[in-house]
Amino acid sequence: MQGKTKAIVMARFRALIRNTWWLLAVFLIGGGLLSYFDPIFLFMFPLSIFVFIWFAFVRYDENGNFNGS
């Protein structure tokens, strides 16, 4: 991606990280602890990445502003 396009895409991700960093930390720590008991919980990590990307594009505009509830 070129400079301005990359900045527009990253604004969405920065806004989502700023608002939900604590939730992502809970998922990472919880997934790590649960995967100690059963390896099926390792699936939680790649799934979290796709959900994060989806939420960034659905809930935030190109400037990183929240779109709705």
Q: What are phi and psi of 38, to 5 degrees?
A: -150, 120
Task: Name which of 54, 52, 8, 47 is nearest 31 in CA terms.
Answer: 47
- pLDDT tens digits, one per residue of 1-45: 566 666 667 888 899 999 999 998 998 899 899 999 998 888 888
Rounded distance between C-alpha atoms, residue 61 and residue 69, angstroms:
13
Residue 41 is predicted with a pLDDT of: 86
pLDDT > 90? residue 60: no
pTM of the model: 0.73
Residue 1 is predicted with a pLDDT of: 52
Output the furthest CA–CA distance in the chain (Å, rounded): 45
